[in-house]
Protein backbone atom coordinates (compact mmCIF):
# COMPACT_ATOMS: atom_id res chain seq x y z
CA UNK A 1 0.00 0.00 0.00
CA UNK A 2 1.23 3.50 -0.77
CA UNK A 3 1.40 6.13 1.93
CA UNK A 4 -2.04 7.51 2.71
CA UNK A 5 -2.87 11.15 3.22
CA UNK A 6 -2.31 12.04 6.87
CA UNK A 7 -4.24 14.16 9.31
CA UNK A 8 -1.35 16.62 9.06
CA UNK A 9 -1.91 16.77 5.28
CA UNK A 10 -5.63 17.35 5.81
CA UNK A 11 -4.96 20.16 8.26
CA UNK A 12 -2.75 21.83 5.64
CA UNK A 13 -5.35 21.27 2.90
CA UNK A 14 -8.10 22.84 5.03
CA UNK A 15 -5.86 25.78 5.89
CA UNK A 16 -4.90 26.52 2.27
CA UNK A 17 -8.46 25.99 1.03
CA UNK A 18 -7.68 23.08 -1.31
CA UNK A 19 -10.14 21.00 0.71
CA UNK A 20 -13.16 21.81 2.84
CA UNK A 21 -14.55 19.89 5.79
CA UNK A 22 -17.44 18.92 3.55
CA UNK A 23 -15.20 17.55 0.79
CA UNK A 24 -13.17 15.56 3.31
CA UNK A 25 -16.31 14.13 4.90
CA UNK A 26 -17.79 13.15 1.53
CA UNK A 27 -14.54 11.49 0.52
CA UNK A 28 -14.40 9.52 3.77
CA UNK A 29 -18.00 8.38 3.30
CA UNK A 30 -17.22 7.26 -0.27
CA UNK A 31 -14.13 5.35 0.86
CA UNK A 32 -16.10 3.66 3.62
CA UNK A 33 -18.70 2.59 1.05
CA UNK A 34 -15.92 1.27 -1.21
CA UNK A 35 -14.50 -0.92 1.59
CA UNK A 36 -17.42 -2.90 3.05
CA UNK A 37 -15.32 -6.07 3.31
CA UNK A 38 -13.18 -4.54 6.04
CA UNK A 39 -16.22 -4.43 8.34
CA UNK A 40 -14.55 -1.50 10.07
CA UNK A 41 -17.68 0.33 11.22
CA UNK A 42 -20.52 -0.50 13.54
CA UNK A 43 -22.29 2.85 13.00
CA UNK A 44 -21.85 5.47 10.27
CA UNK A 45 -24.65 7.96 9.62
CA UNK A 46 -24.17 10.17 6.57
CA UNK A 47 -26.57 12.82 7.87
CA UNK A 48 -24.73 13.12 11.18
CA UNK A 49 -21.37 13.35 9.43
CA UNK A 50 -22.40 15.88 6.79
CA UNK A 51 -24.17 18.19 9.24
CA UNK A 52 -20.99 18.44 11.34
CA UNK A 53 -18.90 18.96 8.20
CA UNK A 54 -21.20 21.69 6.90
CA UNK A 55 -20.93 23.53 10.22
CA UNK A 56 -17.12 23.26 10.11
CA UNK A 57 -17.04 24.48 6.52
CA UNK A 58 -19.19 27.46 7.46
CA UNK A 59 -16.93 28.31 10.43
CA UNK A 60 -13.88 28.37 8.16
CA UNK A 61 -15.70 30.65 5.70
CA UNK A 62 -16.58 33.02 8.53
CA UNK A 63 -13.08 32.95 10.05
CA UNK A 64 -14.29 31.37 13.28
CA UNK A 65 -12.35 28.13 12.99
CA UNK A 66 -12.06 26.43 16.37
CA UNK A 67 -8.66 24.73 15.98
CA UNK A 68 -6.31 23.28 13.34
CA UNK A 69 -8.32 20.01 13.36
CA UNK A 70 -11.65 21.80 12.81
CA UNK A 71 -13.36 19.81 10.04
CA UNK A 72 -11.14 16.71 10.10
CA UNK A 73 -13.12 13.42 10.21
CA UNK A 74 -12.11 11.17 13.13
CA UNK A 75 -13.51 7.68 13.77
CA UNK A 76 -14.27 6.53 17.31
CA UNK A 77 -13.98 3.04 18.81
CA UNK A 78 -17.37 1.76 19.88
CA UNK A 79 -16.54 1.75 23.59
CA UNK A 80 -16.34 5.59 23.75
CA UNK A 81 -19.66 7.20 24.61
CA UNK A 82 -20.83 9.56 21.89
CA UNK A 83 -23.74 12.01 21.77
CA UNK A 84 -24.89 11.12 18.31
CA UNK A 85 -24.20 7.39 18.04
CA UNK A 86 -25.13 4.49 20.33
CA UNK A 87 -22.31 2.72 22.14
CA UNK A 88 -22.40 -1.08 22.16
CA UNK A 89 -18.81 -2.30 22.70
CA UNK A 90 -19.80 -4.67 19.86
CA UNK A 91 -21.69 -6.87 22.30
CA UNK A 92 -25.35 -7.88 22.55
CA UNK A 93 -25.11 -7.35 26.30
CA UNK A 94 -26.35 -3.77 26.28
CA UNK A 95 -24.10 -1.46 28.25
CA UNK A 96 -27.23 0.60 29.06
CA UNK A 97 -25.22 3.75 28.47
CA UNK A 98 -26.18 4.53 24.91
CA UNK A 99 -26.10 8.06 23.62
CA UNK A 100 -26.56 11.24 25.58
CA UNK A 101 -23.01 12.23 26.47
CA UNK A 102 -19.58 12.26 24.93
CA UNK A 103 -16.56 10.65 26.55
CA UNK A 104 -14.18 13.40 27.66
CA UNK A 105 -11.77 12.81 24.77
CA UNK A 106 -14.63 12.85 22.25
CA UNK A 107 -16.01 16.03 23.84
CA UNK A 108 -12.57 17.65 23.58
CA UNK A 109 -12.29 16.72 19.89
CA UNK A 110 -15.84 17.87 19.17
CA UNK A 111 -15.18 21.20 20.90
CA UNK A 112 -12.17 21.60 18.61
CA UNK A 113 -14.42 21.10 15.58
CA UNK A 114 -13.42 17.55 14.64
CA UNK A 115 -16.10 15.70 12.69
CA UNK A 116 -17.11 12.66 14.74
CA UNK A 117 -17.25 10.34 11.76
CA UNK A 118 -18.35 6.87 12.85
CA UNK A 119 -18.11 4.18 15.52
CA UNK A 120 -15.62 1.44 14.76
CA UNK A 121 -15.79 -2.32 15.12
CA UNK A 122 -13.95 -3.77 18.10
CA UNK A 123 -13.31 -7.00 19.96
CA UNK A 124 -16.32 -7.54 22.22
CA UNK A 125 -15.94 -5.33 25.32
CA UNK A 126 -12.26 -4.91 24.37
CA UNK A 127 -11.74 -8.31 26.02
CA UNK A 128 -9.49 -9.79 23.35
CA UNK A 129 -6.83 -8.76 20.87
CA UNK A 130 -7.80 -10.31 17.52
CA UNK A 131 -11.08 -8.51 16.63
CA UNK A 132 -12.44 -11.93 15.67
CA UNK A 133 -15.11 -11.75 18.40
CA UNK A 134 -17.66 -9.01 17.71
CA UNK A 135 -21.43 -9.04 17.41
CA UNK A 136 -21.12 -7.51 13.91
CA UNK A 137 -18.48 -9.98 12.73
CA UNK A 138 -14.75 -10.01 12.22
CA UNK A 139 -12.68 -7.05 11.00
CA UNK A 140 -10.37 -7.60 8.02
CA UNK A 141 -6.90 -6.20 7.45
CA UNK A 142 -6.72 -3.69 4.55
CA UNK A 143 -3.27 -5.04 3.58
CA UNK A 144 -4.73 -8.52 3.05
CA UNK A 145 -8.31 -9.41 3.89
CA UNK A 146 -7.30 -12.95 4.89
CA UNK A 147 -5.41 -11.58 7.88
CA UNK A 148 -6.64 -10.22 11.19
CA UNK A 149 -6.43 -6.55 12.12
CA UNK A 150 -5.53 -7.37 15.69
CA UNK A 151 -7.56 -5.72 18.38
CA UNK A 152 -9.34 -4.72 20.31
CA UNK A 153 -9.37 -1.43 18.35
CA UNK A 154 -9.32 -3.32 15.05
CA UNK A 155 -11.99 -1.29 13.26
CA UNK A 156 -10.07 1.91 14.02
CA UNK A 157 -6.88 0.33 12.67
CA UNK A 158 -8.59 -0.83 9.47
CA UNK A 159 -10.31 2.53 8.90
CA UNK A 160 -7.04 4.46 9.16
CA UNK A 161 -4.94 1.97 7.19
CA UNK A 162 -7.50 1.93 4.36
CA UNK A 163 -7.40 5.72 4.15
CA UNK A 164 -11.07 6.11 5.08
CA UNK A 165 -10.05 8.45 7.89
CA UNK A 166 -6.61 9.72 8.81
CA UNK A 167 -7.09 9.21 12.56
CA UNK A 168 -9.21 7.17 14.91
CA UNK A 169 -9.54 6.61 18.63
CA UNK A 170 -8.67 3.37 20.37
CA UNK A 171 -8.36 2.17 23.94
CA UNK A 172 -5.54 0.06 25.34
CA UNK A 173 -5.56 -2.37 28.30
CA UNK A 174 -2.91 -4.82 27.09
CA UNK A 175 -2.06 -3.39 23.69
CA UNK A 176 -5.43 -2.67 22.09
CA UNK A 177 -4.23 0.57 20.48
CA UNK A 178 -0.76 -0.73 19.60
CA UNK A 179 -1.67 -4.23 18.36
CA UNK A 180 -4.03 -3.18 15.53
CA UNK A 181 -1.84 -0.17 14.75
CA UNK A 182 1.11 -2.50 14.23
CA UNK A 183 -0.90 -5.09 12.29
CA UNK A 184 -2.37 -2.41 10.02
CA UNK A 185 0.88 -0.49 9.51
CA UNK A 186 -0.05 2.78 11.24
CA UNK A 187 1.03 4.72 14.34
CA UNK A 188 -0.58 4.21 17.74
CA UNK A 189 0.07 5.89 21.10
CA UNK A 190 -0.90 4.70 24.58
CA UNK A 191 -0.55 7.49 27.15
CA UNK A 192 0.84 6.99 30.66
CA UNK A 193 -1.67 5.84 33.23
CA UNK A 194 -3.10 8.94 34.90
CA UNK A 195 -2.45 11.45 32.09
CA UNK A 196 -5.44 10.78 29.82
CA UNK A 197 -9.06 10.80 30.89
CA UNK A 198 -10.87 7.47 30.72
CA UNK A 199 -14.20 9.13 31.47
CA UNK A 200 -16.89 7.84 29.14
CA UNK A 201 -14.79 5.00 27.79
CA UNK A 202 -16.48 1.75 28.81
CA UNK A 203 -13.90 0.06 30.99
CA UNK A 204 -12.25 -3.28 30.57
CA UNK A 205 -9.88 -2.88 33.53
CA UNK A 206 -9.82 0.52 35.23
CA UNK A 207 -6.21 0.51 36.37
CA UNK A 208 -4.84 -0.77 33.06
CA UNK A 209 -7.01 1.11 30.54
CA UNK A 210 -5.82 4.12 28.53
CA UNK A 211 -7.44 5.91 25.58
CA UNK A 212 -5.13 6.69 22.68
CA UNK A 213 -4.90 7.95 19.08
CA UNK A 214 -4.24 5.78 16.00
CA UNK A 215 -2.97 7.71 12.99
CA UNK A 216 -1.49 7.66 9.51
CA UNK A 217 1.62 9.68 10.41
CA UNK A 218 3.60 10.30 13.56
CA UNK A 219 3.04 14.06 13.28
CA UNK A 220 -0.72 13.37 13.54
CA UNK A 221 -0.25 12.13 17.11
CA UNK A 222 1.19 15.47 18.16
CA UNK A 223 -1.93 17.21 16.85
CA UNK A 224 -4.22 14.86 18.79
CA UNK A 225 -2.47 14.28 22.13
CA UNK A 226 -3.52 17.69 23.53
CA UNK A 227 -7.11 16.40 23.43
CA UNK A 228 -6.15 13.34 25.49
CA UNK A 229 -3.69 14.61 28.11
CA UNK A 230 -4.53 16.74 31.12
CA UNK A 231 -6.69 16.79 34.23
CA UNK A 232 -10.36 15.83 33.99
CA UNK A 233 -12.54 16.28 37.10
CA UNK A 234 -14.57 13.29 35.90
CA UNK A 235 -11.57 10.93 36.13
CA UNK A 236 -9.80 10.92 39.51
CA UNK A 237 -6.71 9.23 38.05
CA UNK A 238 -5.93 12.42 36.13
CA UNK A 239 -6.00 14.70 39.18
CA UNK A 240 -2.29 15.49 38.84
CA UNK A 241 -2.10 15.13 35.07
CA UNK A 242 -0.15 17.75 33.17
CA UNK A 243 -1.51 19.14 29.93
CA UNK A 244 0.35 18.31 26.73
CA UNK A 245 3.48 20.39 26.20
CA UNK A 246 5.40 19.73 23.02
CA UNK A 247 9.09 19.08 23.58
CA UNK A 248 12.20 18.11 21.67
CA UNK A 249 14.83 15.51 22.51
CA UNK A 250 18.17 16.92 21.48
CA UNK A 251 20.62 14.19 22.55
CA UNK A 252 20.91 10.78 20.89
CA UNK A 253 18.47 8.52 22.77
CA UNK A 254 19.66 5.65 24.95
CA UNK A 255 17.65 2.64 23.85
CA UNK A 256 17.42 -0.70 25.61
CA UNK A 257 16.25 -3.63 23.52
CA UNK A 258 14.42 -5.99 25.89
CA UNK A 259 15.03 -9.70 25.29
CA UNK A 260 15.17 -13.01 27.14
CA UNK A 261 12.86 -15.72 28.46
CA UNK A 262 9.23 -14.74 28.05
CA UNK A 263 10.08 -12.14 25.42
CA UNK A 264 10.71 -14.47 22.48
CA UNK A 265 9.76 -13.46 18.96
CA UNK A 266 9.71 -15.01 15.49
CA UNK A 267 13.02 -14.84 13.62
CA UNK A 268 11.49 -12.76 10.84
CA UNK A 269 10.21 -10.20 13.32
CA UNK A 270 13.52 -10.07 15.17
CA UNK A 271 15.44 -9.51 11.94
CA UNK A 272 13.15 -6.65 10.94
CA UNK A 273 13.45 -4.93 14.31
CA UNK A 274 17.22 -5.41 14.39
CA UNK A 275 17.56 -3.98 10.89
CA UNK A 276 15.37 -1.01 11.79
CA UNK A 277 17.28 -0.33 15.01
CA UNK A 278 20.59 -0.42 13.16
CA UNK A 279 19.50 2.78 11.39
CA UNK A 280 18.74 4.62 14.62
CA UNK A 281 21.26 7.10 15.99
CA UNK A 282 21.88 6.75 19.70
CA UNK A 283 23.23 4.18 22.12
CA UNK A 284 21.83 0.68 21.95
CA UNK A 285 22.03 -2.06 24.54
CA UNK A 286 20.17 -5.21 25.43
CA UNK A 287 18.71 -6.16 28.78
CA UNK A 288 16.74 -9.08 30.15
CA UNK A 289 13.60 -8.46 32.13
CA UNK A 290 13.55 -11.07 34.92
CA UNK A 291 10.43 -12.93 36.05
CA UNK A 292 8.38 -12.14 32.95
CA UNK A 293 5.93 -15.00 33.64
CA UNK A 294 5.20 -13.62 37.10
CA UNK A 295 4.62 -10.08 35.90
CA UNK A 296 2.45 -11.37 33.09
CA UNK A 297 0.41 -13.35 35.63
CA UNK A 298 -0.05 -10.16 37.65
CA UNK A 299 -1.32 -8.28 34.59
CA UNK A 300 -3.67 -11.09 33.71
CA UNK A 301 -5.01 -11.40 37.27
CA UNK A 302 -5.67 -7.65 37.59
CA UNK A 303 -7.31 -7.61 34.15
CA UNK A 304 -9.66 -10.51 34.92
CA UNK A 305 -10.54 -9.31 38.44
CA UNK A 306 -11.34 -5.76 37.38
CA UNK A 307 -13.28 -6.87 34.28
CA UNK A 308 -15.31 -9.39 36.28
CA UNK A 309 -16.11 -6.74 38.88
CA UNK A 310 -17.29 -4.26 36.25
CA UNK A 311 -19.42 -6.87 34.49
CA UNK A 312 -20.75 -8.67 37.58
CA UNK A 313 -24.23 -7.18 37.50
CA UNK A 314 -24.70 -7.15 33.72
CA UNK A 315 -23.44 -10.71 33.41
CA UNK A 316 -26.12 -11.87 35.82
CA UNK A 317 -28.83 -9.85 34.06
CA UNK A 318 -27.90 -10.68 30.51
CA UNK A 319 -25.55 -13.68 30.25
CA UNK A 320 -26.83 -14.57 26.79
CA UNK A 321 -25.71 -11.17 25.51
CA UNK A 322 -22.04 -12.10 25.83
CA UNK A 323 -20.15 -14.39 23.50
CA UNK A 324 -19.17 -17.61 25.22
CA UNK A 325 -15.48 -16.77 25.09
CA UNK A 326 -16.04 -13.40 26.80
CA UNK A 327 -18.16 -15.11 29.47
CA UNK A 328 -15.30 -17.54 29.99
CA UNK A 329 -12.84 -14.72 30.58
CA UNK A 330 -15.26 -13.14 33.04
CA UNK A 331 -15.57 -16.42 34.92
CA UNK A 332 -11.80 -16.54 35.33
CA UNK A 333 -11.89 -13.28 37.28
CA UNK A 334 -14.52 -14.71 39.62
CA UNK A 335 -12.22 -17.60 40.50
CA UNK A 336 -9.15 -15.59 41.48
CA UNK A 337 -8.55 -14.86 45.16
CA UNK A 338 -8.01 -11.64 47.05
CA UNK A 339 -4.51 -12.81 47.91
CA UNK A 340 -3.71 -13.33 44.25
CA UNK A 341 -5.02 -9.87 43.38
CA UNK A 342 -3.00 -8.15 46.11
CA UNK A 343 0.11 -10.09 45.18
CA UNK A 344 -0.42 -8.90 41.63
CA UNK A 345 -0.56 -5.30 42.86
CA UNK A 346 2.74 -5.82 44.67
CA UNK A 347 4.28 -7.15 41.47
CA UNK A 348 3.01 -4.13 39.58
CA UNK A 349 5.07 -1.86 41.83
CA UNK A 350 8.06 -4.21 41.65
CA UNK A 351 8.00 -4.20 37.86
CA UNK A 352 8.16 -0.43 37.73
CA UNK A 353 11.00 -0.40 40.26
CA UNK A 354 12.94 -2.92 38.16
CA UNK A 355 12.45 -0.91 34.98
CA UNK A 356 13.33 2.45 36.54
CA UNK A 357 15.99 1.52 39.07
CA UNK A 358 17.63 -1.78 38.13
CA UNK A 359 18.31 -1.25 34.43
CA UNK A 360 21.16 0.84 33.03
CA UNK A 361 20.07 4.41 32.28
CA UNK A 362 17.60 4.52 29.38
CA UNK A 363 15.40 6.90 27.46
CA UNK A 364 13.21 4.30 25.77
CA UNK A 365 12.71 0.54 25.96
CA UNK A 366 12.35 -1.26 22.65
CA UNK A 367 10.36 -4.36 21.74
CA UNK A 368 8.58 -5.56 18.62
CA UNK A 369 4.91 -4.65 19.01
CA UNK A 370 3.94 -8.20 18.01
CA UNK A 371 6.13 -11.31 18.27
CA UNK A 372 4.82 -12.81 15.02
CA UNK A 373 3.85 -11.65 11.52
CA UNK A 374 0.16 -10.72 11.35
CA UNK A 375 -1.82 -14.01 11.61
CA UNK A 376 -4.47 -15.33 9.28
CA UNK A 377 -8.07 -15.37 10.56
CA UNK A 378 -8.16 -19.15 10.87
CA UNK A 379 -4.87 -19.45 12.78
CA UNK A 380 -5.68 -20.31 16.40
CA UNK A 381 -2.05 -20.97 17.44
CA UNK A 382 1.31 -19.33 16.92
CA UNK A 383 4.72 -20.99 17.23
CA UNK A 384 7.84 -18.88 17.76
CA UNK A 385 11.05 -18.98 19.81
CA UNK A 386 10.26 -22.47 21.09
CA UNK A 387 6.81 -21.43 22.28
CA UNK A 388 3.36 -22.47 21.17
CA UNK A 389 0.70 -20.01 22.31
CA UNK A 390 -2.80 -19.05 21.24
CA UNK A 391 -3.03 -16.27 18.67
CA UNK A 392 -4.83 -14.24 21.33
CA UNK A 393 -1.91 -14.56 23.76
CA UNK A 394 0.61 -13.84 21.01
CA UNK A 395 -1.05 -10.48 20.34
CA UNK A 396 -0.51 -9.19 23.89
CA UNK A 397 2.90 -10.94 24.22
CA UNK A 398 4.86 -7.71 24.81
CA UNK A 399 2.29 -4.95 25.09
CA UNK A 400 0.96 -5.76 28.58
CA UNK A 401 4.23 -4.52 30.14
CA UNK A 402 3.33 -0.92 29.34
CA UNK A 403 -0.11 -1.27 30.91
CA UNK A 404 1.05 -3.03 34.09
CA UNK A 405 3.75 -0.39 34.65
CA UNK A 406 1.61 2.53 33.42
CA UNK A 407 4.22 3.60 30.84
CA UNK A 408 3.61 5.72 27.73
CA UNK A 409 4.07 3.55 24.62
CA UNK A 410 4.12 4.09 20.88
CA UNK A 411 4.20 1.75 17.91
CA UNK A 412 5.81 2.69 14.59
CA UNK A 413 5.64 0.74 11.31
CA UNK A 414 9.20 -0.37 10.46
CA UNK A 415 8.91 -3.00 7.73
CA UNK A 416 6.94 -5.82 6.20
CA UNK A 417 6.89 -9.57 6.66
CA UNK A 418 7.45 -12.04 3.84
CA UNK A 419 3.67 -12.18 3.49
CA UNK A 420 3.57 -8.41 2.91
CA UNK A 421 1.94 -7.55 6.22
CA UNK A 422 3.30 -4.70 8.36
CA UNK A 423 5.69 -5.16 11.29
CA UNK A 424 5.68 -2.59 14.07
CA UNK A 425 8.27 -1.55 16.63
CA UNK A 426 7.26 -0.42 20.11
CA UNK A 427 8.99 2.21 22.21
CA UNK A 428 8.13 2.59 25.88
CA UNK A 429 8.98 5.71 27.86
CA UNK A 430 9.12 6.63 31.52
CA UNK A 431 5.84 7.21 33.37
CA UNK A 432 4.40 10.65 32.78
CA UNK A 433 6.96 11.54 30.11
CA UNK A 434 4.65 11.14 27.15
CA UNK A 435 5.98 14.17 25.29
CA UNK A 436 9.56 12.98 25.71
CA UNK A 437 8.64 9.59 24.28
CA UNK A 438 6.96 11.28 21.33
CA UNK A 439 10.09 13.37 20.73
CA UNK A 440 12.28 10.24 20.83
CA UNK A 441 9.86 8.49 18.46
CA UNK A 442 10.22 11.42 16.01
CA UNK A 443 13.99 10.82 15.87
CA UNK A 444 13.61 7.07 15.56
CA UNK A 445 10.92 7.38 12.88
CA UNK A 446 13.06 9.86 10.96
CA UNK A 447 16.02 7.46 11.04
CA UNK A 448 13.96 4.44 9.98
CA UNK A 449 11.24 5.82 7.75
CA UNK A 450 12.76 9.14 6.74
CA UNK A 451 9.73 11.13 7.79
CA UNK A 452 9.53 14.66 9.17
CA UNK B 1 -15.71 -25.53 35.99
CA UNK B 2 -18.69 -23.28 35.41
CA UNK B 3 -19.50 -20.66 38.05
CA UNK B 4 -23.17 -20.43 37.19
CA UNK B 5 -25.14 -22.84 35.03
CA UNK B 6 -26.83 -19.92 33.32
CA UNK B 7 -23.46 -18.92 31.97
CA UNK B 8 -22.58 -22.32 30.60
CA UNK B 9 -21.18 -22.02 27.07
CA UNK B 10 -22.89 -23.85 24.24
CA UNK B 11 -21.92 -27.51 23.95
CA UNK B 12 -19.72 -27.18 20.91
CA UNK B 13 -17.68 -24.41 22.51
CA UNK B 14 -17.61 -25.87 26.00
CA UNK B 15 -14.42 -27.90 25.79
CA UNK B 16 -12.45 -25.04 24.31
CA UNK B 17 -13.72 -22.58 26.89
CA UNK B 18 -13.08 -24.87 29.83
CA UNK B 19 -9.56 -25.35 28.49
CA UNK B 20 -9.09 -21.59 28.24
CA UNK B 21 -10.28 -20.83 31.77
CA UNK B 22 -8.31 -23.72 33.26
CA UNK B 23 -5.12 -22.73 31.50
CA UNK B 24 -5.50 -19.06 32.45
CA UNK B 25 -6.00 -19.87 36.11
CA UNK B 26 -3.13 -22.37 36.17
CA UNK B 27 -0.85 -19.86 34.47
CA UNK B 28 -1.74 -17.08 36.90
CA UNK B 29 -1.34 -19.31 39.94
CA UNK B 30 2.04 -20.62 38.77
CA UNK B 31 3.29 -17.18 37.76
CA UNK B 32 2.39 -15.57 41.06
CA UNK B 33 4.02 -18.39 43.06
CA UNK B 34 7.25 -18.24 41.09
CA UNK B 35 8.42 -14.84 42.36
CA UNK B 36 9.49 -14.07 45.90
CA UNK B 37 7.89 -11.12 47.63
CA UNK B 38 9.60 -9.57 50.63
CA UNK B 39 7.74 -8.48 53.73
CA UNK B 40 8.71 -4.89 52.84
CA UNK B 41 6.83 -4.96 49.56
CA UNK B 42 3.41 -3.34 49.59
CA UNK B 43 0.67 -3.51 47.01
CA UNK B 44 -0.12 -0.48 44.92
CA UNK B 45 -3.31 0.54 46.72
CA UNK B 46 -4.07 3.27 44.25
CA UNK B 47 -1.69 2.78 41.42
CA UNK B 48 0.35 5.95 41.00
CA UNK B 49 3.47 5.58 38.88
CA UNK B 50 4.89 8.88 40.04
CA UNK B 51 5.35 7.65 43.62
CA UNK B 52 8.00 5.16 42.53
CA UNK B 53 11.37 6.86 42.62
CA UNK B 54 13.17 7.30 39.39
CA UNK B 55 16.90 7.04 40.00
CA UNK B 56 17.36 10.23 37.98
ipTM of the complex: 0.82
- From edge to edge, which strands make up the β-sheet containing A283-288? A41-43, A115-120, A73-77, A167-172, A210-215, A187-190, A409-416, A422-428, A364-368, A254-259, A283-288
Give A384-408 pLDDT, tens digit per residue: 999 999 999 999 999 999 999 999 9
> How close B44 comes to chain A (CA, Å)?
5
Answer whether A122's CB lies under 8 Å from A95's CB.
Answer: no
Taking contacts as CB-CB distances below 8 angstroms, the residues of chain B near A303 are none
CB pairs under 8 A between A and B: 127
Cβ separation of A347 and B56 shorter than 8 Å? no
Task: Using a CB–CB cutoff of 8 Å, tell me whether B11 touches chain A.
Answer: no
Annotated catalytic residues of A are: 77, 152, 176
Task: Using a CB–CB cutoff of 8 Å, tell me whether B13 touches chain A.
Answer: yes
d(CA A168, CA A349): 32
pLDDT band with cut points at 50, 70 and 90 for residue B35: confident
Give A26-50 pLDDT, tens digit per residue: 999 999 999 999 999 999 999 999 9
Give the DSSP H/E element, type plus range, for residue A11. helix A7-16
Task: Using a CB–CB cutoff of 8 Å, tell me whether A301 touches chain B.
Answer: yes
Task: Using a CB–CB cutoff of 8 Å, tell me whether A128 touches chain B.
Answer: no
Taking contacts as CB-CB distances below 8 angstroms, the residues of chain A near B55 are 356-357, 361
pLDDT in tens, chain A (452 residues): 557 999 999 999 999 999 999 999 999 999 999 999 999 999 999 999 999 999 999 999 999 999 999 999 999 999 999 999 999 999 999 765 555 899 999 999 999 999 999 999 999 999 999 999 999 999 999 999 999 999 999 999 999 999 999 999 999 999 999 999 999 999 999 999 999 999 999 999 999 999 999 999 999 999 999 999 999 999 989 988 999 999 999 999 999 999 999 999 999 999 999 999 999 999 999 999 999 999 999 999 999 999 999 999 999 988 999 998 899 889 889 999 999 999 999 999 999 999 999 999 999 999 999 999 999 999 999 999 999 999 999 999 999 999 999 999 999 999 999 999 999 999 999 999 999 999 999 999 999 999 65
Share the mean pLDDT of chain A: 95
pTM for this model (two decimals): 0.94
Q: What is the CATH number of domain A1-452?
A: 3.90.1300.10
Torsion of CA A302, A303, A309, A311, to 10 degrees: 180
Taking contacts as CB-CB distances below 8 angstroms, the residues of chain B near A324 are 9-10, 13, 17
Taking contacts as CB-CB distances below 8 angstroms, the residues of chain B near A298 are 31-32
Task: Using a CB–CB cutoff of 8 Å, tell me whether A346 touches chain B.
Answer: yes
* Closest chain A residue to the Cα of B13, Cα to Cα: A324
d(CA B44, CA B53): 14
Amino acid sequence: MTRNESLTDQIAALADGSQTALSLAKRSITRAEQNPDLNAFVALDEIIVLSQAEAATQRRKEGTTLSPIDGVPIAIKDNYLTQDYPTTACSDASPLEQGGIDATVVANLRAAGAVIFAKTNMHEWAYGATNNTSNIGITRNPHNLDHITGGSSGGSGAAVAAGIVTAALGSDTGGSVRIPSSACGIYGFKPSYGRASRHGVLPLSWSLDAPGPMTTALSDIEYLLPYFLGPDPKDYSTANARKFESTTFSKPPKLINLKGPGLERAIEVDRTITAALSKVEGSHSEAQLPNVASYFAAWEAILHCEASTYHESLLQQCPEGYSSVTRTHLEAGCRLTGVQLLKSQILRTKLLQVLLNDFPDWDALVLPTLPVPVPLHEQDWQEFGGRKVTTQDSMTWFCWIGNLAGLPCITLPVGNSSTGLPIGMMLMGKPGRDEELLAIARKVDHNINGGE
Amino acid sequence: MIVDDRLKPTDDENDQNVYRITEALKRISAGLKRIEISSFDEPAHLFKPEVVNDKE
